[in-house]
Structure 1
């Protein structure tokens, strides 16, 4: 089977390694494309090719169709333009190409915007933190007043963001120079943020939220169109360098099951939770393998293999997960290019 992974996050090499572990040499051919020649994922792929850097939307879709035809792809596992591609399964199926989409177009578009996602989510499925979505300085000030009356600390995050980019805790006691000198991370002085809004009175949607100060869980999952096949919980330690624990929190497992069913999730995806004063709350659903995917598979569950078996329609035995296992990652130096300069 020839499997193509188009441009996506660098963590996809963890998926490659786990597919390699579960298949005999020659059973699968892993094909990777990226827009730059030094992509580390190329080191784990059987074949690698460069993508054009200037294509988006329909133009990129046409390029993907042509790539599948030219390189005789059997299974397309999209990263870039995953939502758009999910609406075009019929086009690829007509060529004999299966597509591994985490959800349909409407759901993937919803998950991309946390303001829309949080509003859509029934509390019977999972609960999110208290939040207010704002687009201007006046709405921001009202949200801070309202939420401050209910919660000791507040935080902000753009409604559209990945990897926690833009997340900040609102600091009402210190200014930025004090934060710099003290080495404070992921915080922003409230008054200085307000001052910045004078120059940008209207802005893209920002979420003002209660700050969840407890433990965080990252749950790596494999599913089949709403059926949860396997979920591995990684409980993160609050101090850097103290690793993570393969956990078995029943409340989180139940929420993962309901979320998978409600949004008919498929393939490999990641769901994140964090604990606050009122209990565990859902942070987000990532329609892709997480950065810690490789650590999750140390539990004894090869999630990439499970997802691939599911799309083949093969039997899927329940893996034996090693709960309580303490895990971490180490950086490994690699040579990207051996050339004389």
Structure 2
């Protein structure tokens, strides 16, 4: 069965390698001929540059026909592709998108998501939004508490792009250590005084442990979740956290998710101010950049997803999640092509 992973981040290569030796024949497509996804897949082809929306979806459907692809796990344009699932199905292709287009876009808009979030599942830190200097100043005044630092991040973004913890006064030691995710309040005010500021979140910075929960689900049913706590010397720790696995189950059901998704938490004080409890930060309807760490816990996320999509998943025989592990990454360099194969 031919399975296509379309244009995505380079960390997708870990999923492609995880399917080696299975009943699935892995294909990858990307617009960059030197991309790591193409190097990791035994079969692949190039995507045209610049196609978006329905034009990209139509091209992809035709490409699946030409290359005899039966299943597609899209990276690029996955939101818009959700409305094309029936057309792909009519052509004999299973298109796996996380949810309908509206739900995916809701989760991407972090301000919209937080406003609608059910705090019975997990609490959230105090927050507000701004899009200019006045809004920033008013938000900082409203959220300011003794001993609490504030942080900012874009309402739409991926990974840690645009995230900064606000320092007042600036910390020289952090600067000399190369801390990338801190900014002085003065620098922030200068930045946000400029025109064209997008919608930004201003939040309490929670000082406890940060966790990333990688999940795989099918049609709203959680299959497996792995909880990893960040920190340590370049590694992460796989934890046994039934409370966060239950949160993952409720998230999958609430949004009707299919595929690999992730949510981020950080510990903050509870109502008593004494006990640390996980707070919800965001849900990403896509595989996380750190999924490869969670796969070290004995969970083959892409294989479970594909088996669920093709109806062969044996839920009674799912491998257990290995917890209590400390995991680290050992990067591998691969040859993409020989220099003489490059045509100038």
User: TM-score, normalised to structure 1's length?
Assistant: 0.92
**Residues 104-119 of structure 1 correspond to what in structure 2 (within 5 A)?**
104-119=100-115
After TM superposition, which residue ranges in structure 1, 4 or more long, deviate above 6 angstroms?
A: none
Question: 2:301 maps to what in 1?
Answer: 303
Question: 1:273 maps to what in 2?
Answer: 265
Question: 2:192 maps to what in 1?
Answer: 197
Question: 1:236 maps to what in 2?
Answer: 230
Structure 1 SS opposite 2:339: coil
Question: 1:262 maps to what in 2?
Answer: 254
Structure 2 SS opposite 1:194: helix
1:195, 1:303 → 2: CA distance? 44
Question: 1:333 maps to what in 2?
Answer: 333
Question: 2:129 maps to what in 1?
Answer: 133
2:221, 2:238 → 1: CA distance? 22
* Number of matched pairs: 333
CA shift for structure 1 position 165: 0.6
Structure 1 SS opposite 2:63: helix
1:312, 1:128 → 2: CA distance? 37
CA shift for structure 1 position 183: 3.1
CA shift for structure 1 position 179: 5.7
Moved more, 268-277 or 180-189: 180-189
1:151, 1:161 → 2: CA distance? 28
Q: 2:182 aligns with which of 177, 180, 187?
A: 187
Structure 1 residue 226 corresponds to structure 2 residue 224: no
1:112, 1:214 → 2: CA distance? 24
Structure 1 residue 53 corresponds to structure 2 residue 49: yes
CA shift for structure 1 position 251: 2.1
Question: 2:98 maps to what in 1?
Answer: 102
**Residues 29-108 of structure 1 correspond to what in structure 2 (within 5 A)?**
29-108=25-104
Q: Residues 68 and 151 of structure 1: is their aligned pair in 2 closer, same or farther, counting only changes over 3 Å?
A: farther
Q: Residues 120 and 14 of structure 1: is their aligned pair in 2 closer, same or farther, counting only changes over 3 Å?
A: same
CA shift for structure 1 position 212: 1.4
Structure 2 SS opposite 1:11: helix
Structure 2 SS opposite 1:323: coil
Q: Do the aligned partners of 2:39 and 2:334 also contact (CA within 8 Å) in 1?
A: no
Q: Do the aligned partners of 2:122 and 2:278 also contact (CA within 8 Å) in 1?
A: no
1:23-74, CA deviations, whole angstroms, 9 ceiling, x for partnerless residues?
A: 1xxx322111111111111122121111111111121111112111211210
Q: Do the aligned partners of 2:210 and 2:229 also contact (CA within 8 Å) in 1?
A: yes
1:36, 1:46 → 2: CA distance? 16
Structure 2 SS opposite 1:55: coil
1:236, 1:198 → 2: CA distance? 34
Q: Residues 92 and 150 of structure 1: is their aligned pair in 2 closer, same or farther, counting only changes over 3 Å?
A: farther
CA shift for structure 1 position 230: 0.6
Q: Do the aligned partners of 2:6 and 2:30 also contact (CA within 8 Å) in 1?
A: yes
Q: Do the aligned partners of 2:136 and 2:192 also contact (CA within 8 Å) in 1?
A: no
User: TM-score, normalised to structure 2's length?
Assistant: 0.92
Q: Residues 320 and 196 of structure 1: is their aligned pair in 2 closer, same or farther, counting only changes over 3 Å?
A: closer
CA shift for structure 1 position 191: 1.4
2:321, 2:92 → 1: CA distance? 35
Q: Residues 298 and 162 of structure 1: is their aligned pair in 2 closer, same or farther, counting only changes over 3 Å?
A: same
1:30, 1:12 → 2: CA distance? 12
CA shift for structure 1 position 150: 6.9
Q: 2:239 aligns with which of 244, 247, 250?
A: 247
2:38, 2:214 → 1: CA distance? 23
